[in-house]
């Protein structure tokens, strides 16, 4: 009877370890998805800023070389 109890405890420990590993893998995948989304947002903001800078530069290019 003692061996059966130990076997059940070992089996329970193995199952708990498998569940914890699966949760860890899911957390890592969720983190990489978030990182990808943050990179996309950063690129979008950068593109928007560059576009606005080009518009301002083209509007001000007529004043280039004037002293007033």
DSSP assignment string, the chain: -HHHHHHHHHHHHHHHHHHHHHHHHHHHHHHHHHHHHHHHHHHHHHHHHHHHHHHHHHHHGGGTT---
Q: Is the entire prediction scored with pTM above 0.85?
A: no
Joined tokens for residue 15: 């199952």
Digitized pLDDT (tens) for each residue of the chain, 68 residues in all: 789 999 999 999 999 999 999 999 988 888 777 877 888 899 999 999 999 999 988 888 878 777 66
pLDDT at 19: 96
pLDDT at 16: 96
Closest CA to 17 of 5, 7, 9: 9
pLDDT at 68: 64
| Torsion sign across C-alpha atoms 30, 36, 42, 44 | negative
pLDDT at 46: 93
């Amino acid at each position: 009877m003692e061996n059966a109890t130990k076997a059940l405890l070992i089996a329970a420990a193995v199952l708990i370890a498998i569940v914890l590993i699966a949760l860890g893998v899911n957390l890592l995948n969720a983190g990489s998805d978030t990182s990808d989304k943050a990179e996309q947002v950063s690129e979008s903001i950068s593109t928007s800023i560059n576009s606005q800078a080009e518009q301002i530069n083209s509007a001000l290019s007529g004043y280039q070389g004037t002293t007033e």
